[in-house]
Amino acid sequence: MRIVNALRQADLRGLVLPLAFLALWYAVTRLQLVNTKLIVPPGAVLDAAWKVVASGQLLAGLQASLVRDLSGFAAGSAAGIALGLLLGVSRWAERLVGPTFHTLKQISLFAWLPLLSTWLGTGEAAKILFVALSAFYPVALNTFEGVRGVTRAQVEVARVLGFNRRQLAWRLVLPAASPQIATGLHLALLYAWLATIGAEYLLGASSHGIGNVVIRGKAAFHVELIIVGMLLIGLVGMALNRLAAAVEARVLHWRGPGH
Amino acid sequence: MNTASSSVAYAPPSAAPLAPLVPRWRRLAAWLAARALALATGLVLPLLLLAFWQYAVDRHWLAEQILPPPSLVRDSLVELWDNGDLTSNLAISLKRLGWSLLIGGGSGLLLGLAMGVSRTVKAYVYPGFQLVSQFPVIGWVPLLIIFAGIGEALKVSAISIAVVVPVAVNTYQGIRNIPRALLEVAAVYRFSFWQTIRRLVLPAASSSIFNGLRQGVMQAWLSLVFVELLASSEGIGYLMVWGRQLLQLDIVVVGMIVIGAVGIVLDRLLAWCASRLHGWQRRAY
């Protein structure tokens, strides 16, 4: 009964456009109105999806990509939190490092790739470093802003309570900055996935990864494979986004309702 | 004695704000000194890095093709600028950016406006839009290459997609956040539909729209460099690919410097526009 009610209340108008798109896609390929080599029929995409999933090629690629993504993310965000904390707490560190950091930040992410790949080769090291770089900037920036948001009054209370430096960091500054840090980590997760895919597209067809599968599909003009890969990349991105939002809500639930 | 001290004590109160009066030039000097100090401390790290770079070159830690000396990078920058390679490629990249901002920004604005103003449009379009917008732009590129080739159409379409999403989302949210009371006032004044849009909705949502545009520009610049690195025969990204293939890393570093410089200029330009926008808002109230 509840399901029926939910169905009745759900706004089905949102389904119209996607369904119309699918129907149009099916119709033009079925009636041979277009070059079906270029615009492949939806059935062929499903077929290709089933085949690559069954052969394990795509899933192995996905696994390789995720490992790259998460290790780069972990390294980059750890470095980002450390630098953001340092810049936020120490005026001198900010004066010394801040301008350089803000300047280097302006170099568009992918512009680093030719240099990194020349130095480190097109192997795993260059990719992971690149992913780490992509995660580093948003985390460092947001951590810095979060730490700057700690008020003087809060620090004074901590001083009165006799907190030492470590207690100050762990029990005041990090918790107070945690909503901003969480925002930074969330952004970093999205950027890291973007960077993983981008690095796989740009660096070498030899390695395994979901991006490599897609780029090989492009070289072989295998449109079904490209579409399947794209959908999978999108789904993983979406899942990571959902996951980050859920973790954020859970970890920060102490802020209470209204956030 | 007594009178003298009291005359000091009872100095006219109007003098009090003048008491900490420091000559203007002195304040200016202090401000300049602070700026100079900030500049000097900010330059310490870059200079150290530069010295380290030169040192690494001198000690031959890496082959010269892989680690060009700073002087060579400077010479290449001057040379590429003088013979027009840099300026022509940069012009091509900026042209792509401009077209994409126009196309993507325009359609994003219209889409956001339509979804924000009309509940019906929102009900039909928003779920599908939200689904598509979660796909990273970079994922689209191989498919776009199949459909659009690797010509100008590919770059402009890929970068436009990167702009549409943030502009549309922020426009929509900006309109959603307009207080109901304002709309009711507009209804009381019997504003026509276009009057409401022009005189209420657009101004009220302007800072949110601008925010979306700002995100859009940054996304566009990111995607532009990516697309040019992946598939291109001209443009600043291509210049870097070319330099890398010739193992002339000085050209790659020049490309990075130029990309960083353009990033800074875009950032400043947007910040300036934002301050103008806020200036207008303060005058309005």
Out of B125, B141, B240, the one facing A17 most closely (by C-beta) is: B125
Q: Any idea what the CATH number is for the domain that residue B134 is in?
A: 1.10.3720.10
Tally of domains within chain B: 2
Residue B12 maps to a domain: no
Query: Does any domain span residue B261?
Result: yes
DSSP one-letter code for A56: T
Q: Which among A83, A107, A218, A231 is the top mutation candidate for probing chain B, defined by the most B β-carbons within 10 Å of its own β-carbon?
A: A107
Whether A10 shows a pLDDT value over 80: the answer reads no
Q: Are residues A100 and B125, on separate chains, in Cβ contact within 8 Å?
A: no
Q: What does the block give as tokens for B187? A: 């209804």
pLDDT confidence tier of residue A191, bands split at 50, 70 and 90: very high
**B6 within some domain:** no
| Residue B3 clears pLDDT 50, i.e. is over it | no
Please indicate, yes or no, whether residues B110 and B204 belong to a single structural domain of this protein: yes
Its domain, for residue B202, covers 74-284
Closest residue of chain B to A107, computed from CA coordinates: B260
Q: Which residue of B45, B123, B225 is in closest CB contact with A111?
A: B225
Whole-angstrom distance, CA of residue B209 vs CA of residue B203: 10
User: Both tokens of residue A241?
Assistant: 């986004």
**What is d(CA B250, CA A256) in angstroms, rounded to the nearest whole number?**
54
Residues B47 and B119 in one domain: no
Residue A61 sits at φ, ψ, to 5 deg, of -60, -45
- Give the torsion through C-alpha atoms of B26, B30, B36, B37, to 10 deg: 150
Contact: B241, A114; criterion CB under 8 Å: yes
* pLDDT score recorded for residue B135: 81
Based on the domain organization, do B50 and B179 belong to the same domain?
no
Q: DSSP readout, A204-237?
A: -SSS-SHHHHHHHHHHTT-HHHHHHHHHHHHHHH
Tens-digit pLDDT profile for residues A137-172: 999 999 999 998 888 888 889 889 888 888 888 888
- pLDDT interval class at B15 (50, 70, 90): very low
Nearest chain B residue to A117 by CA: give it: B244
Question: Under an 8 A CB cutoff, do A202 and B229 touch?
Answer: yes
- Say which of A11, A97, A230 has its CB closest to residue B140: A230
Give me the residue from A97, A110, A237 closest to B45, CB to CB.
Answer: A97
- Does a structural domain hold residue B218? yes
Same domain, B98 and B34: no
With respect to residue B16, please indicate whether it lies within any of the assigned structural domains: no
pLDDT, mean of residues B204-228: 90
Query: CA of B96, closest CA in chain A: separation in Å?
Result: 16
Nearest residue on chain A to B220, alpha-carbon basis: A108
Q: Which of B86, B42, B52, B47 is nearest to B253 (CA)?
A: B86
Q: Is the pLDDT of residue B281 over 80?
A: no
- The answer to whether the CB atoms of A107 and B259 lie below 8 A apart is yes
Looking at the complex, report in whole angstroms how far the Cα of residue A105 sits from the nearest Cα belonging to chain B.
Answer: 8
* Pair (B29, B161) in one structural domain: no
Query: Is the Cβ pair A108, B252 closer than 8 Å?
Result: no
Closest CA to B161 of B222, B233, B114, B208: B222
- Amino acid of residue B68: P
Same domain, B144 and B264: yes
Q: Which residues of A touch B120 (CB under 8 A)?
A: 13
Report if residue B204 sits inside a domain.
yes
pLDDT for the residue B2 = 43
Residues B51 and B84 in one domain: no
Mean pLDDT estimate for chain A = 85
Q: Are residues B45 and B175 in the same domain?
A: no
Looking at the structure, tell me whether residues B80 and B205 fall in a common domain: yes
pLDDT digits (tens, 9 = 90+) for B40-86: 888 888 899 999 988 888 888 877 777 888 888 898 899 889 888 88
Instruction: Let me know whether B256 and B151 are in one domain.
Output: yes
**What pLDDT digit, counting tens, does each position of A75-97 carry?**
999 999 999 999 988 888 888 88
* Residue of B111, B146, B242 to mutate, interface with A, max A Cβ within 10 Å: B146
Same domain flag for B81 and B173: yes
Q: How far apart are CA A130 and CA A140, in angstroms?
A: 16
Task: Answer yes or no: is B116 within a domain.
Answer: yes
Work out the minimum CA distance from B33 to partner chain A, whole angstroms: 14
Residue numbers in B near A21 (CB within 8 A): 128
State whether A111 and B260 contact (CB < 8 Å).
yes
Contact across the interface for A106 and B123, Cβ inside 8 Å: no
**ipTM given for this complex:** 0.85
- The confidence band for B285, taking pLDDT boundaries of 50, 70 and 90, is very low
Residue A43 has pLDDT above 50, yes or no: yes
B139 vs A contacts (CB less than 8 Å) = 197, 214, 230, 233-234, 237
Q: Is residue B18 part of a domain?
A: no
Q: Dig out the tokens for B150 from the structure.
A: 């690797």
Tell me the DSSP string of A16-50: HHHHHHHHHHHHHHHTT-S-TTTS--HHHHHHHHH
Contact between A83 and A97 under an 8 Å Cβ cutoff? The reply is yes
Q: Inter-chain contact A237–B41, Cβ cutoff 8 Å?
A: no
Same domain? B145 vs B272: yes
Q: Tell me, what's the pLDDT at B20?
A: 56
Domains of chain A by start residue, with CATH: 42-253 (1.10.3720.10)
The answer to whether B165 and B135 are in contact (CB under 8 A) is no
Q: Is B230–A241 a contact, with Cβ atoms under 8 angstroms apart?
A: no
Shortest CA distance to B273 belongs to which of B213, B203, B205?
A: B213
Nearest chain B residue to A108, by CA: B222
Other C-beta atoms lying within 10 Å of the C-beta of residue A172 = 18
